[in-house]
Amino acid sequence: MNWKFWQKEKNAQPKKKTKSREWFDAIIFAVIAATVIRVFFIEAYTIPTGSMEKSLLIGDFLFVSKVNYGARIPMTPVAFPFAHHTMPVTGTKAYYDGIQWKYRRLPGIQDIKRNDVVVFNFPDGDTVALEAQDRDYYEMVRSYGREAIHNQYTIVSRPVDKRENYIKRCIGIAGDVLSMKDGLVTVNGKAVPMENTGQINYLVELKNSDFNFEVFKDMGFVISDIQGIGGNTFDFLGTPEMMEEVKKLDFVVSVKPRTSPLEADESNIFPQDPNRKWNVDNWGPVQVPKKGWTVKLDSLTMPMYQRAISIYEGNKIEKAGKGWTINGQPADSYTFKMDYFWMMGDNRHNSLDSRYWGFVPEDHVVGKALFIWMSYDTNASFFGKIRWSRIFKGIH
């Protein structure tokens, strides 16, 4: 080697980065670091509806742990950072679904337990009407017909991890047998009354309609929780504990849960089977599928499990005479490949949950809700109001 050339190289100073290059590198590093944290550790989530009141309120901002149940490896790896399924300005897809990875999950520190508050991808969100994304596509089809919906809306399909995020409480884990009668859930033969975070509607009869609302406000009610329905009878939305306090008031005549009659039939209740006369307060029994569990396929079980077998587990099911074929082979039973869960909102009469769309597969689970880091009541004033008492409140 030439000594002069070597000395020149030795004395040469490294080329200094420009300010723009430094900013570019810093931004790239920040995006990568934030994406890794969001995918594998923790993610922020906002409560958009009242389906989880009283435990979670509209305007609560949560941190959701990916570590507790084990982080899910991205199934749609090519996506725009920090956008879920839609670009914020253009409204176009924020991901490329030409590359799809199989469902895999890192080891977690716990399994999903009953009463956990869980964030998951909406199971019925595989098909979406873009102009009506806040509505369940399948319920729209049942109500108006497939042709009418496809003629009126732009219909798209979404991969599992790009379906809408939902948050509910886990009522049943894999293998559980659940039912509900008069609004009371039974799990594996044991009645499970609502805790003080769960609420339903009650019929309250008063001696007269002239009462001081401040009495109920002190018990935790808000104006919208109480609605007159004729005479001295009112509809109260509250927890069992709140209603026990209402019963003690000397001007209250009676307090009764406002639940659907046992014989009432609601066609939109899962599994939308005309042979099952179920409603939002009376349904079951339902057995939640468990990995390795084998179910016999017949006219009773197919309405309950056909979607799980075909859509969630990726099999082709066809009716063949009096029986069924799965992937072209005759089948009189099926063994599930995943665990499933039954999710319900704490605001039982104002929640679209498993009572309407059924089971949540394990590959749809996003994470466990940990605590509220900010809460903002947009209805309190023009500029909104911070709910200071809810900041850093744990979720139970």
Instruction: Provide the whole-model pTM.
Output: 0.89
Per-residue model confidence (pLDDT) at position 63: 93
pLDDT for 321-380, tens place per residue?
Answer: 888 999 999 999 999 999 999 999 999 999 999 999 999 999 999 999 999 998 988 777
Residue 2: pLDDT over 80: no
Domains and CATH numbers, the chain: 200-257 (3.30.70)
Q: Shortest CA distance to 295 belongs to which of 327, 339, 330, 336?
A: 336
**DSSP states of 82-96:** T-SSB-TTT-SBSB-
Q: pLDDT at position 129, please? A: 93
Strongest mean pLDDT among 14-18, 344-348, 379-383, 390-394: 344-348
At 60-91, the pLDDT tens digits run 899 999 999 999 999 999 998 888 888 888 88
Pinpoint the alpha helices (H) of the chain: 3-11, 19-40, 137-144, 146-152, 213-217, 240-247, 302-307, 354-357
State the pLDDT at residue 30. 82
The band of 211, judged by pLDDT with boundaries at 50, 70 and 90, is confident
Mean pLDDT, the chain, whole residue set:
89
pLDDT in tens, 16-71: 778 777 787 788 888 888 888 888 899 999 888 888 887 888 888 999 999 999 99
Residue 5 has a pLDDT of 46
